[in-house]
Amino acid sequence: MEAPRSVNSFLPRKALDALLSALRDGGYDCAAPVVRDGAVVYTRLQAQDRLPHGISIQQAPGRYRVGFTDSPRNFSWANGPQALKPFVFTAHETLWSARRDPDGNLCFTEPDRNVDPVAIIGVRSCDLAALALQDRHFLDGACADPHYQARRASLFLVAVNCSHPSDTCFCVSTGDGPAASDGYDLLLDELDDGFVIQAGSPEGQKILDRLPVVSTTDRQLQDINRQNRHAAECQTRRLPPGNLEPALFANLDHPHWQTVAERCLSCGNCTSVCPTCFCYRELDQGTLDSDHSEHIREWDSCFTQGHSYIHGVTIRAGTDLRYRQWLAHKLGSWHSQYGRSGCVGCGRCISWCPVGIDLTEEVATIVGAAS
């Protein structure tokens, strides 16, 4: 996918701070990718903070390493373990709480859903595609999730076309990258001396209008075209093409499910880092005096024992059944549910799997396709 070339604004690198200032003046907190605990994660910037530069990342099955170079670039890496998911579907939250009043009556309260607007800088196309899928799950239908809805409405997204896909990326084969086509407020193409920048929404245009941009040159447009082509061509992994639902469901008894299960630890890392996984559990946490309780929602994983526990029976007791559930849903029955696969090709589940299980290879073996 190639970025639209009708863009004509260039933000010189020395003016990058003006983007942060314009966002803050527009009422947004800024969250940007910084290195923390050995990984690139989105962090809220303080007023004096600047975007880090020269970060490089190596990814391979079961491997993620951060390095540093003298590059002036701020986004010359693919992605970290986080996507946009924690900003909209938080890992742990209170949905409502209950308190017993002095007369013994139960009083229920909902949490404050006001969320400060936040601009997230450095979003990749795969994560925009994942956000669109999470929107469908949490917002479409008769009952939109009010908790997700409030946080989603607070987001201003500054996307960056990916110039350095990692070894584990395969967004070209899912049609979700490496260049963004929609879903952003501002879109950047990074070059050594600055950013070709375009707006994707009226809010984005308002911020763009405040920036000290100059006109793009033909050379810059050629450079970003070449960069986007290269980012697509260097991806070596791919999913088998088309709707895999029939092939996966025709192979529910394939012996390879058991072969994968002999390596899989059922740790759930893949579902935690996956930007489209949305499973959760709800539980009540009461105080010892029984006067107060919180109704909690927190991320769950189809790899846990409890996820398939129903009325005294664990439906998927074995790891083979759990891995099959994950893959057959993600790449198969999502098509019936949402009209497309649930995978956007970000490669996180490959990098962050402690034993390096690679879904592109496993599914190719199971459906009998060359990966």
Please report, as ranges, the residues that interact with ligand SF4 according to CB under 6 A. Answer: 264-270, 273-276, 303, 330, 343-349, 353-355, 357, 359
CB of 145 to ligand SF4, least distance (A): 20
Please state the closest distance from residue 280 (CB atom) to ligand SF4, in A: 16
Nearer Cβ to ligand SF4 (220/269): 269
By DSSP bridging, strand 309-310 and strand 313-314 are antiparallel
Residues paired with 296 in a beta bridge: 94, 283
Q: How far is the CB of 168 from ligand SF4 (least distance, A)?
A: 8
What gap in Å lies between CA 194 and CA 215, rounded to an integer? 12
Pick 231 or 349: Cβ nearer ligand SF4: 349
How much of the chain is helix, strand and coil, in % rounded to 5?
30, 25, 45
The nearer residue to ligand SF4, 152 or 348, going by C-beta atoms, is 348
Which residue number, 200 or 347, has a Cβ lying nearer to ligand SF4? 347
68 with 156: CB under 8 angstroms? no
Sign of CA dihedral 208, 212, 218, 223: negative
Give least dist CB 338 to ligand SF4, A: 13
Residue 150 or 267: the one with the smaller Cβ distance to ligand SF4 is 267
In angstroms, give the least distance from the CB of 274 to ligand SF4: 3
Closest to ligand SF4 by CB, 213 vs 273, is: 273
Considering only CA atoms, which of 21, 19, 17, 1 is closest in space to residue 9? 19
Instruction: Using CB atoms within 10 Å of the CB of residue 19, give its burial: 0 to 12 exposed, 13 to 18 middle, 19+ buried.
Output: buried
Q: Measured from the CB of residue 76, what is the shortest distance to ligand SF4 in angstroms?
A: 20
Smallest gap, in angstroms, from Cβ of residue 332 to ligand SF4?
Answer: 12
Nearest to 269 by CA among 62, 47, 59: 62
Compute φ and ψ for 361, nearest 5 degrees: -75, -40
Instruction: Indicate the burial class of 60 (C-beta count within 10 angstroms; 0-12, 13-18, 19 or more).
Output: middle
Nearer to ligand SF4, 194 or 358 (CB): 358
Distance CA 124, CA 159 (A): 6
Between residues 163 and 276, which has the closer beta carbon with respect to ligand SF4? 276
Tell me whether residue 75 is exposed, middle or buried, using C-beta atoms within 10 angstroms of its C-beta: 0 to 12, 13 to 18, 19 or more.
buried
Closest approach, Cβ 352 to ligand SF4, in A, equals 6
